[in-house]
């Protein structure tokens, strides 16, 4: 899978799911929730970000609570999240839900906000489209690769049930 | 070729793999059929709509392992707002229509109820859609948060779990009088950091753990989540077997770790000289001795959660509050972790002591820990709590949370500022 987009960089480590989507918004319609995405760090982020943009973050992005905070990121139309590393539950919930998440040590140094990049999950690399520079991304572990390539847990299960 | 030694957690996973496995490599994913699959009653009707659509698309009409699925009404219960009430209603209807057991809004937290009801036995696999699931590893189970996999569990009764590498945390020594298991957990959290066991499992052992009660073993294992671990584990011993003896009805099997198993990392702690600890805002690994923040005013003191909402926690707080009053400028809120805890604390007279001291005792549940109700903080307010984590905004935007032991929380409730519990014990 290849995705091209403009980078929004959140250089902090340990951005929790509570910061991605505060629990006080958990009962609201998903489109409403998304308007508050990451508001504690950048109150205007949801307004400024465009569909197809790519979020870049530090270590342990999405740590903490197992809530489906990834849904807020998806609702904003964000094409992918590339981070130094991810919180375990958030990473897998995202893949299941169909949000493209890629671990990529060194990504913070490699990019700045506004850069155009190409994420290639097959080759496993991030390419800065302005400079042509390439950074290798971490491979998906085991079954998660197939799930990510198919677009989530539902298509994965569909394929599996069809093959039986 | 001789096989490398295996950890008990890996043996538990192999036993639950479909098909059953004779070996597994760390990092490898297995198709696992857990003994228990548990979920929370949701907070959003749209999430349920999506789940229903997905299940219909997959042609799933009935859940295969109906007697293994449990739903918990523990977050934001009873509902604090019309919005959450509407969501609860939709989810409750969904579960009840499918014959799934749902707890009532005062039964308490999933992580307490499952072991109390004997559903978590040594050697079992527990898949619960909540980040603090490692808590139940104190019983010697493989208890891992459902991370992706909810749909698979509803559709197939199975999900994919990876065999984690395992770190060993050895704790030796005896605590001083004013220091508790929660202080040990905070100390280790501070030393190892939020990424200290990222994606790995963590086993707790050593003379300190051997002498520890089950209540406090749960507290220790709960902290595994805050160092990023996939599961916590304590090898079952006579304390475990005594505790599960009256509760677990089905036969179970205790798995042992091979003597030649190679731990990924080993960390040793001697806690004999440890002083009471706090995790200062806004990270659970921002840990320091209480002395360094003593005197900081607090607006709220809070006792509860799956980390520290058990009988022993309430006993310590009640002993400190006996014959004393909560400071007039402080709300001291006590949310027992489960109805079993609340009933025992009532029967033994501790709840009466708390009422006498002007504490606010709520129904059992997650309470204010996830910031949904029952003690939400205003911007600028400061709380001392023994909840699970103190991320920015967790219990209220713009507020500060200091994590501490129930003793430190109770002492601070009396003084209206962060206080060491020593003079009350």
A30 CB contacts (<8 Å, ≥6 apart)? A71, A72, A75, B44, B46
Question: Is the confidence at residue B1, as pLDDT, over 70?
Answer: no
Closest Cβ–Cβ partner in A65, A89, A154 for B370: A65
Question: Is the confidence at residue B102, as pLDDT, over 60?
Answer: yes
**Length of chain B as a residue count:** 425
Which helix (H) or strand (E) covers residue B110, if one does?
helix B110-116
Residue A32: domain span: 2-162
Closest Cβ–Cβ partner in A89, A142, A157 for B151: A157
Whether the CB-CB separation of B306 and B143 falls below 8 Å is answered with no
Question: Is the confidence at residue B29, as pLDDT, over 90?
Answer: yes
Taking an 8 Å cut-off on Cβ atoms, the answer to whether A26 and B389 are in contact is no
Strand residue runs (E) in A67-141: 80-83, 100-103, 116-120, 125-128, 134-136
Please report, for chain B, how many H helices and E strands are present, in that order.
Answer: 14, 18
| Sheet with strand B142-145: strands edge to edge | B101-102, B69-72, B36-40, B125-128, B142-145
Interface membership of A41 toward B (CB under 8 Å): no
Q: Are strands A125-128 and A54-57 parallel, antiparallel or unpaired?
A: unpaired
Question: Is the confidence at residue B241, as pLDDT, over 90?
Answer: yes
Residue B391 vs residues A17, A30, B252, B387: alpha-carbon distances, Å:
10, 23, 38, 11
pTM above 0.80, yes or no: yes
Whether the CB-CB separation of B407 and B383 falls below 8 Å is answered with no
Interface membership of A89 toward B (CB under 8 Å): yes
The predicted structure's pLDDT at residue A141: 86
Closest residue on chain B to A97 (Cα): B148
Domain count, chain A: 1
Closest Cβ–Cβ partner in A24, A30, A142 for B29: A142
**HSE-up (13 A, CA, CB side) for residue B67:** 0
Kindly report, residue by residue over B32-63, the tens digit of the pLDDT: 999 999 999 999 999 999 999 999 999 998 88
Handedness of CA A122, A126, A132, A135 (dihedral sign): negative
Cα of A81 to nearest chain B Cα, Å: 17
Question: Is the confidence at residue A164, as pLDDT, over 90?
Answer: no
The predicted structure's pLDDT at residue B4: 81
Residue B321 vs residues A50, B315, B362, B411, B413: alpha-carbon distances, Å:
55, 10, 17, 8, 9
CATH number of the domain encompassing residue A131? 3.20.19.10
Q: Give percent above pLDDT 90 in chain B.
A: 97
pLDDT band at B2 (very low <50, low <70, confident <90, very high): low
What are the tokens at B129?
């859609």
Kindly report, residue by residue over B256-300, the tens digit of the pLDDT: 999 999 999 999 999 999 999 999 999 999 999 999 999 999 999
d(CA B341, CA A15): 34
| Domains by residue range for chain B, with CATH | 8-20+31-158 (3.30.499.10), 166-249+259-270 (3.40.1060.10), 277-424 (3.30.499.10)
Here the ipTM equals 0.96
């Amino acid at each position: 899978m290849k995705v091209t987009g403009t980078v929004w960089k959140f250089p902090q480590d340990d951005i929790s799911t509570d910061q991605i989507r505060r629990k006080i918004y958990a009962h609201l319609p998903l489109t409403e929730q998304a308007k508050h995405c990451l508001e504690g760090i950048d109150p205007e982020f949801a307004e400024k970000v465009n569909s197809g943009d790519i979020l870049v973050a530090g270590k342990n992005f999405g740590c903490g609570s197992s809530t489906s905070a990834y849904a807020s990121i998806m609702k904003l139309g964000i094409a992918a999240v590339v981070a130094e590393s991810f919180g375990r539950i958030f990473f897998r919930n995202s893949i299941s839900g169909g949000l493209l998440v890629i671990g990529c040590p060194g990504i913070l140094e490699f990019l700045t906000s506004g850069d155009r990049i190409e994420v290639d999950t097959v080759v496993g690399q991030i390419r800065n489209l302005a400079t042509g520079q390439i950074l290798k991304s971490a491979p998906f572990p085991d079954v998660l690769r197939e799930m990510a390539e198919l677009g989530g847990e539902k298509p994965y299960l569909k394929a599996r049930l069809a093959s039986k | 070729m001789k096989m490398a030694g295996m950890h008990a957690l890996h043996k538990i996973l192999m036993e639950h793999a479909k098909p059953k496995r004779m070996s597994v490599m760390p990092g490898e994913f297995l198709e696992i059929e857990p003994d228990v699959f548990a979920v929370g009653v949701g907070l959003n009707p749209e999430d349920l709509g999506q789940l229903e659509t997905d299940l219909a698309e997959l042609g799933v009409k009935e859940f295969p392992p109906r007697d293994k699925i449990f739903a918990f009404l523990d977050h934001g219960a009873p509902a604090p707002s019309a919005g959450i009430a509407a969501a609860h209603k939709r989810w409750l209807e969904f579960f009840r229509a499918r014959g799934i057991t749902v707890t009532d809004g005062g039964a308490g937290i999933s992580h307490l109820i499952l072991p109390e009801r004997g559903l978590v036995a040594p050697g079992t696999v527990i898949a619960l859609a909540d980040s603090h699931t490692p808590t139940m590893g104190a019983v010697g189970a493989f208890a891992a948060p459902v991370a992706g996999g909810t749909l698979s569990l509803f559709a197939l009764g199975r999900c994919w779990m990876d065999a984690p590498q395992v770190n060993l945390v050895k704790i030796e020594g005896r605590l001083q009088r004013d220091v508790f298991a929660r202080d040990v957990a905070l100390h280790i959290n501070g030393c190892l950091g939020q990424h200290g066991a990222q994606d790995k499992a963590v086993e707790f052992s050593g003379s300190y753990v051997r002498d520890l009660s089950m209540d406090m073993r749960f507290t220790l294992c709960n902290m595994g989540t805050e160092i990023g671990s996939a599961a916590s584990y304590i090898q079952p011993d006579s304390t475990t077997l005594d505790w599960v003896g009256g509760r677990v009805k089905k036969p179970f099997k205790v798995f042992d770790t091979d003597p030649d198993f190679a731990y990924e990392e080993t960390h040793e702690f001697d806690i004999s000289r440890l002083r009471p600890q706090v995790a200062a805002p806004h990270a659970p690994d921002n840990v320091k001795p209480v002395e360094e923040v003593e005197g900081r005013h607090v607006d709220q003191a809070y006792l509860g959660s799956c980390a520290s909402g058990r009988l022993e926690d309430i006993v310590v707080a009640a002993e400190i509050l006996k014959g004393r009053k909560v400071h007039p400028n402080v709300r001291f809120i006590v949310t027992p972790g489960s109805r079993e805890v609340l009933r025992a604390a009532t029967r033994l007279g501790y709840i009466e002591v708390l009422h006498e001291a002007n504490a606010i005792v709520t129904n059992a549940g997650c309470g204010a820990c996830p910031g949904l109700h029952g003690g939400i903080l205003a911007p600028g307010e400061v709380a001392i709590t023994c909840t699970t984590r103190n991320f920015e905004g967790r219990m209220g935007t713009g507020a500060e949370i200091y994590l501490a032991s129930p003793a430190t929380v109770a002492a601070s409730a009396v003084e209206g500022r962060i206080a060491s519990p020593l003079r009350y014990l």
